[in-house]
Amino acid sequence: MRIDSTQYPWLADRHASTGSLALLVAAGAAIFAVVLQGDLLLTGLASAGLVFFALACWRPCAALGTLIAAVLLLEQYPIAGIESITAASPLYLNINNLSSFYLPANPLELLLTVLTGATLVRVVWIERRPWRWHWPQVATLCFGLSLAISFLLGMVRGGDFKVALWEVRAFGYLILLQLLVPQIVRHRRQLVWLTWALCVPLIVKGFQGVSRYFFTIDRRIDSVSAISSHECAFFLLCLFLLLGALWTYRAAPRLRWLLTATLPVTFVTFLLAQRRVAYGALAIGAVLFVVLAPRAMRKRVLWAAIPISLLLTLYAFAFWNKPYGTLSMPVRQVRSIFDPRPGSHEESSNDFRDRERFNLKTTIRANLVTGTGFGHEFYQAVPLPNINYPLYRFIPHNAILWLWAKSGTIGFFFFWLFVGANVVAAMMLRNRLRDPLARALSVTAALALLLQMIISTYDLQLTFYRNMVFHGTLLGLVGASVALAAEAKPRTLPPEEEESP
């Protein structure tokens, strides 16, 4: 919908609006420099926020894509043994940890707030168009309400506010983006642009991982525990699923060929990430993908799976007992889940997770209905050894049982209601939507959410900011696809009708 030029002529005139926004940014930067008493870091962050606000007002989809790309490029945590400009980014640190100014919010949250404000102003005040709803959003809001109640319950019971905030804030990103993305995406080309914004940073991470292997660690894979962040392997796994969906529905030819051309690089980085649960999730994801594939393609996929399965079996037999080396690393990681070498890091890691699981079950039985609330340690029926993670007594590896322990059976019900509603809706849409790209995104969003549940039973990630931004964006794109299909004239899109950004 175009802006009414009679009511807001300065917004309709591109040159006038651009000049006004530029003056706003310049004036704001000057004011911040004075108010913040020359604090260069805060002045820079505030000025960047103003630039982002100007972009969000002028091109909200471009602002959203830029923010998503930045989140996928910049790691939340440092990577042990590897120095990188993208690791432990200040994007995720609270302002009070970056300067003397007290503000318990990070730049990511401030940028999301700016984007939300600009979108609300545009939708409600300027364009005056209805809010776009998709029925799974109701389940998401119910889950968000249950989280808020558990947060308040934790505070009433004397929980730690900072810890509780750390536990729940990532879910806030997911809920906000699932609601916000459908309001921002108004045209199909914007759907294409945001899909590119999700994929291109992950391709970059693929090349970054290979570069780290050859140049940073000099191909000594056993010298580090990983060459990328925990969540990077999951993102690349979702990238492979999206590639399969794009080929299945013949969607986005330019992006499809780009992902295919870079697949060797991204897959090598996926393997070198050394996330053993991600290897298992890849196998499960492949099986689910075949089950959900159209019947005509399912037979071809199954025939192709026979030689691949044979090769993987031969590989496993050849390297099953190899304790070192890059080629044996993937099968070694998978074996360590069931049969770790005595005295190895994997054995101690498995033992730590077993202790956590026992303690979580003890906590759940003692707080079955309402949970402990956020901000509280889970019970230590079996002592845990100290590890280099300050929240290990609050946030365990098994994030599914953790959520049950913190929010109780009531909150746990709403969690699975959220997961089930969004997965079922996306599964149904893969056959109902006509747009090939929308169908590919629906399949990817459903499988990504399911595989996240599998990975989070073993490897955290429900509290990771980047994961929740990723899922919120995917689910938001599904909602936007539904809205675009409802608003479009009935017609069938040619399979190859695509745009590049």
Per-residue pLDDT reduced to its tens digit, 44-65: 677 777 788 888 888 889 999 9
Residue 27 has what pLDDT?
Answer: 54
Name beta bridge partners: 79.
Answer: 82
379 in any annotated domain = yes
Minimum mean pLDDT range among 19-28, 148-157, 353-362: 19-28
248 in any annotated domain = yes
Residue 496 class from Cβ within 10 Å (0-12 exposed, 13-18 middle, 19+ buried)? exposed
Together in a domain, 247 and 353: yes
Together in a domain, 23 and 135: no
Residue 180 has what pLDDT?
Answer: 95
What is the average per-residue pLDDT within 241-262? 94
What is the average per-residue pLDDT within 57-78? 90
Average pLDDT of every residue of the chain: 84
What is the average per-residue pLDDT within 166-173? 95
Token look-up 């004011």 returns 31
pTM (2 decimals)? 0.88
Which segment, 27-41, 44-58, 240-254, 318-332, is predicted with the most confidence on average? 240-254
179 in any annotated domain = yes
> Of 129, 161, 183, at which residue does a domain stop?
129
| pLDDT-derived band at 24, boundaries 50, 70, 90 | low
Rounded distance between C-alpha atoms, residue 12 and residue 231, angstroms: 42
What is the average per-residue pLDDT within 442-448? 96
Together in a domain, 167 and 258: yes
204 in any annotated domain = yes
CA neighbours closer than 13 Å in the CB half-sphere of residue 19: 6
Together in a domain, 287 and 238: yes
What is the average per-residue pLDDT within 209-215? 89
Which segment, 87-91, 140-144, 390-394, is predicted with the most confidence on average? 140-144
Tokens encoding 209: 């991982």
Together in a domain, 119 and 184: no
Together in a domain, 3 and 45: yes
pLDDT over 90 at 276, yes or no: no
| pLDDT-derived band at 377, boundaries 50, 70, 90 | very high
CA 414 to chain centre: 20
| pLDDT-derived band at 497, boundaries 50, 70, 90 | very low
Q: Cα–Cα–Cα angle for 61, 90, 266, nearest 5°?
A: 65
495 in any annotated domain = no
**Buried-state track 280-315, b at ≥16 Cβ within 10 A, e below 16:** bbbeebbebbeebbeeeeeeeeeeeeeeeeeeeeee
pLDDT over 60 at 500, yes or no: no
Per the CB < 8 A criterion, the answer to whether 185 and 194 are in contact is yes
Which segment, 107-111, 153-157, 271-275, 306-310, is predicted with the most confidence on average? 153-157
> Of 113, 129, 145, at which residue does a domain stop?
129
Question: Between 31 and 415, whose confidence is greater?
Answer: 415
| pLDDT-derived band at 314, boundaries 50, 70, 90 | confident
| pLDDT-derived band at 35, boundaries 50, 70, 90 | very low
Question: Between 458 and 466, whose confidence is greater?
Answer: 466
498 in any annotated domain = no
Tell me how many domains the chain contains: 2
Together in a domain, 48 and 157: no
Together in a domain, 92 and 138: no
> Of 129, 159, 186, at which residue does a domain stop?
129
Range of the domain at 98: 1-129
497 in any annotated domain = no
374 in any annotated domain = yes
Helix (H, G, I), strand (E, B) or coil at 52: helix
Helices (H), 121-252: 136-156, 161-184, 188-211, 230-248
pLDDT digits (tens, 9 = 90+) for 323-352: 776 777 777 777 676 667 776 667 788 888
Residue 410 has what pLDDT?
Answer: 95
HEC string of 116-142 equals HHHHHHHHHHHCCCCCCCCCHHHHHHH
pLDDT over 80 at 137, yes or no: yes
Together in a domain, 124 and 134: no
What is the average per-residue pLDDT within 154-180? 95
Residue 332 has what pLDDT?
Answer: 72
Together in a domain, 124 and 137: no
Together in a domain, 143 and 121: no
Together in a domain, 174 and 65: no
Residue 492 has what pLDDT?
Answer: 45
